[in-house]
Amino acid sequence: ESRGWSQLWLDYESKFAASGVANGTERKIVIECSDFDRNNRVIKSAVSELNRAFADATKEVKISFVRNEKIAAQGYKVGNIIGGSLNKPQDGDGFIIEASDENGLLYGTFHLIREKLMGRDYPDISVSCAPSNPLRMMNHWDNMDGSIERGYSGRSFFYANDEIIVDDRTVDYARFMASIGINGIVINNVNVKWAATDLITTRFFDKVKELSDIFEDYGIKLYLSLNFAAPIELGGLPICDPLDEQVKQWWKNKIKEVYDHLPNLGGFLVKADSEGRPGPFTYGRTQADGANMLGDIIAPYGGIIIWRCFVYNCTQDWRDTKTDRARAGYDYFKGLDGQYHDNVILQIKNGPMDFQIREPISPLLGGLTQTNQMLEVQIAQEYTGHQIDLCYLIPMFKEILGFKTYCKSDNDTVADVVSGRTMGNKLAGMAAVINTGNDYNWTGNDLAAANLYGFGRLSFDTELSAEEIAREWVKLTFNLEQELEDKLVDMLLRSREIYEKYTSPLGIGWMVTPGDHYGPSVDGYEYSRWGTYHRADHLGLGVDRTDKGTGYAQQYYPQNAEMYNDPHKCPENLLLFFHHIPYTWKLSSGQSLIQYIYDSHFEGYEEARKLADEWKSFEGKVPERAYNCISHRFDLQVNNAHEWCDQVNSYFYRKSGIADEKGREIF
Ligand code: GCU
């Protein structure tokens, strides 16, 4: 613990201790590879990782790295050479890792290590694996003053006081990311302000290069978020119109300068015309004009432009029922389909609003059929409990990936679209707004690391189930007997629905405390400018987004549009997102809507208490620090669930005047 940060799922030392094997006594790891590979920076990292992970081996273990052109980029094969016992290495044990490139060799290495740490002892290993997505990215919303936008795990480990931090923690971070298959990291907040605008200047090049080099050792490309107004703020130009010749020239010079200093930069992420950020709209230009201008300039360097689609009117009037924030992404971007250049990729949030506990899938995903696109999800628990409340998000991500868009007759799920399978495009993938900070455990709540681990694994292999990922993470993180392992996996798997039950009902979202987004405030956003309304009155609630309402449902392909448009066909967990429904409406369960609201809230609160109670059986079974941290958070979660339950139920009881059939206390 002297390091000041944990080793997360790569905690070799504690695994050795648990298995009773002393660290490092007679270990003999023999690595076989070509001389060419021996000097490769990524393979050096793999070798150093193997040396650490097999430090408990008392007999010789031989590991061979082999290049095999037939294996997909960044994919790998792992198998036995001889013997092949991972956990009790015998004389002459050995494994072979084959891949076409060094990243694949590194991922194969981590596969082998993962199996070993999970205590699996295959007599015969034979796996092949190719990544589902070409781009597997983490987006940091870290600011250079050390704060983190929507961060719930301490301060930034990249920045403090407008300086960049590079230390041993940076290396561990890169190891963790590589171990779960991440190959791209955006190191600064999408809201690029103040010192962050200077990341593309000599003020920071040297330090960014140091970071980029560390990432490079682990097969990860560094990306920067860009301030679209940099020509004004850095260049002193009067405008940042993307079609202006002077502006273009400024960017040409700037990007050349950037690549002179940061030759391995992956490219830029851009939040433009969104929530007060500058963008092409100011000059009457389109989003494509902005993205393509940068794309063309960065293309000669092999860079890409990741352009976010989170563009909407954030100064709406709540009295206006025709303007619908949910429509905005599609309205702004769909018409430009096919106009984006090849090295531009649109990054699309999973839902049309903003990372609520339940939303429909953004109709832009698959709605665009001639544009590179990637999925953006949020593992930072902004609306899902601030890493206080337990909320394992992988089940949600699985639903998103599995959604059938109907954009083609086959290969039409979101997983197909964002992996590039649907359109055959190479620039495709998944990104997550990361949940880390400089807390000892990296994620505030130790259990929130399941989302960090899980996103990486899922983006690498979208076929893995939420349960498989949860189980891997639990096995790698703790040393639990089977019964407790099963229990923790089960707690994780139930947690999202529990959170959903005690917060806002049936997909309507947003009943959170404005600004901070933790805890209930049913009307907190009801009369605000943000376009986030539930429209409750004394008869019912929900937003009519059908063809008779805002027309949002019509943005989907016909099969889905018809389903969402009809309250009898609409999935009930999204009913209030698409329809304004009377409290007396009968759900398929036979409950009225109002009774469902009462029941689900009482249940959600009860189930949160049960989670907290179940956690008590982990005392003495996980490290004390983790036990106490998690216990404390469960206490807070129970309070939170209590507030949500009472406030939501009271609110709707007072609005509707309809009593709870079960006569429970509602205030
Ligand atoms: C949300 C979030 C902001 C963030 C924004 C974005 O609105 O609350 O903090 O900047 O999303 O994704 O750009």
Q: Whose CA is nearest to atom 12 of ligand 1?
A: 310
pLDDT of residue 91: 66
Q: Which atom of ligand 1 is nearest to the CA of 189?
A: 10
Does residue 21 carry a pLDDT above 70?
Answer: no
Average the pLDDT over each of 78-92, 161-175, 340-354 and give the range with the smallest value.
Answer: 78-92
Please state, rounded to an integer, the average pLDDT across all residues of the chain: 96
Whether 75 and 223 share a structural domain: no
Residue 37: active-site member: no
* Helix (H) / strand (E) containing 344: strand 344-349
Give the residue from 81, 99, 129 where a domain finishes.
129
**What pLDDT, on a 0 to 100 scale, did the predictor assign at position 36?**
87
Residue 40 within any structural domain of the chain = yes
**pLDDT over 60 (residue 24):** no
- 345, 446: one domain: yes
Rounded to two decimals, the ipTM of the complex is 0.99
Distance (Å) of CA 435 to CA 266, 385, 516, 519, 627: 22, 12, 16, 19, 20
Judgement on whether residues 104 and 146 belong to the same structural domain of the protein: no
DSSP bridge partners of 306: 269, 345
493 domain residue, yes or no: no
354 Cβ inside 6 Å of ligand 1: yes
- Is 354 catalytic? The answer is yes
Q: What is the largest CA-CA distance in the chain?
A: 78
pLDDT score of 110: 98
> Which CATH number goes with the domain that contains 140?
3.20.20.80
Which pair of structure tokens corresponds to residue 566?
Answer: 């009809």
Q: Which atom of ligand 1 is least distant from the CA of 149?
A: 9
Helix residue ranges, H only, 299-360: 328-333
In a domain, 483, yes or no: no
List the catalytic residue out of 354, 412, 416, 439: 354
Asked whether residue 283 falls in the same domain as residue 369, the answer is yes
State whether 90 and 142 are in the same domain.
no
Q: Determine the distance separating the centroid of ligand 1 and the alpha carbon of 186, expressed in angstroms.
A: 15
Q: Which of 192, 225, 310 to mutate to test the pocket of ligand 1 (most atoms within 8 A of CB)?
A: 310
Query: Of the residues 121, 168, 260, 275, which is catalytic?
Result: 275
**381 and 329 inside one domain:** yes
- Site to probe by mutation for ligand 1, drawn from 141, 228, 275 as the one with most ligand atoms within 8 Å of Cβ, is 275
> Cα of 274 to ligand 1 centre, how many Å?
9
Shared-domain flag, residues 443 and 516: no
Task: Report if residue 445 sits inside a domain.
Answer: yes
pLDDT in tens, 559-602: 999 999 999 999 999 999 999 999 999 999 999 999 999 999 99
Ligand 1 pocket check for 271: Cβ under 6 Å: yes
- Asked if residue 77 and residue 197 are part of one domain, the reply reads no
User: Cα dihedral sign for 220, 225, 231, 232?
Assistant: negative
Residue 560 lies in a domain: no
Query: Ligand 1 centroid vs 398 CA: distance in angstroms?
Result: 23
Over residues 322-329, the mean pLDDT reads 97
**Number of C-beta neighbours around residue 120 at 10 A:** 12
Q: Is residue 492 part of a domain?
A: no
Give yes or no for residue 533 CB within 6 A of ligand 1.
Answer: no
Half-sphere exposure of 649 (CA within 13 A, CB side): 26
Whether the per-residue pLDDT at 127 is higher than 90: the answer is: yes
Lowest mean pLDDT among 54-63, 71-80, 430-439, 503-512: 54-63
Identify which has the larger pLDDT, 55 or 409.
Answer: 409
- Checking if the pLDDT of 23 tops 70, the result is no
What confidence tier does 61 reach under pLDDT thresholds 50, 70, 90? confident
Query: How far is CA 215 from its chain centroid?
Result: 19
Does position 624 have pLDDT exceeding 80, yes or no? yes
Residue 556 has pLDDT above 80, yes or no: yes
What's the predicted TM-score (pTM) here? 0.98
Q: From the CA of 43, how far away is ligand 1's center (Å)?
A: 37
CATH number at residue 37: 3.30.379.10
Flag whether 552 is in a domain. Answer: no
- Total residue count of the chain as it appears in this document: 667
Residue 27 has pLDDT above 70, yes or no: no
> Which residue type occupies 332?
Y
Q: What is the pLDDT of residue 198?
A: 98
296 or 20, higher pLDDT: 296
Domain encompassing residue 52: 8-129
Residue 232 shares a structural domain with residue 375: yes
State the pLDDT at residue 25: 58
Mean pLDDT over 478-490 rounds to: 98
Report the atom number in ligand 1 closest to the C-alpha of 517.
Answer: 8
Q: How remote is the CA of residue 151 from the centroid of ligand 1, in Å?
A: 12
By alpha-carbon position, which residue is closest to atom 13 of ligand 1?
A: 190
Q: Which atom of ligand 1 has the smallest separation from the CA of 150?
A: 9
Out of 382, 389, 497, 544, the active site residue is: 382
147 lines ligand 1 (CB under 6 A): no
User: For residue 663, is pLDDT > 60?
Assistant: yes
86 and 44 in a common domain: yes
CATH number at residue 509: 3.90.1330.10
Final residue in a domain of this structure, among 129, 164, 179? 129
Q: What is the DSSP letter of 339?
A: -
From the CB of 191, is ligand 1 less than 6 Å away?
Answer: yes
**Residue 378 dihedral angles phi and psi, to the nearest 5°:** -125, 115
- If you average pLDDT over residues 18-26, what whole number do you get? 65
| Assigned domain for 57 exists | yes
Cβ(140) – ligand 1 distance below 6 Å: no
Q: Per-residue pLDDT for 120 more than 90? A: no
What is the number of H-type helices and E-type strands within the chain?
A: 19, 17
Could you tell me what percentage of the chain is helix, strand and coil, using 3-state DSSP and rounding each to the nearest 5? 40, 15, 45
Pocket test for ligand 1, best of 143, 150, 348 (most atoms within 8 A of CB): 150
In a shared domain, residues 288 and 341: yes
Q: 317 an active-site residue?
A: no
Cβ(398) – ligand 1 distance below 6 Å = no
* CA separation for the pair 41, 47 (Å, rounded): 10
- The pLDDT value given to residue 64: 95
Residues 84 and 226 in one domain: no
- C-beta of 190 in contact with ligand 1 (< 6 A): yes
DSSP code for 360: P
**Strand 76-82 and strand 93-99: pairing?**
antiparallel
Residues 6+ apart with CB under 8 A from 665: none
Model confidence band, residue 114 (pLDDT cutoffs 50, 70, 90): very high
How many domains, the chain? 3
Task: Select from 111, 129, 147 the last residue of a domain.
Answer: 129
Q: How confident is the model at residue 123 (pLDDT cuts 50, 70, 90)?
A: confident
Q: Does residue 376's CB lie within 6 angstroms of at least one atom of ligand 1?
A: no
Query: Could you tell me the distance, in angstroms and rounded to a whole number, from the CA of residue 190 to the centre of ligand 1?
Result: 8
Q: pLDDT band for 377, please (50, 70, 90 cuts).
A: very high
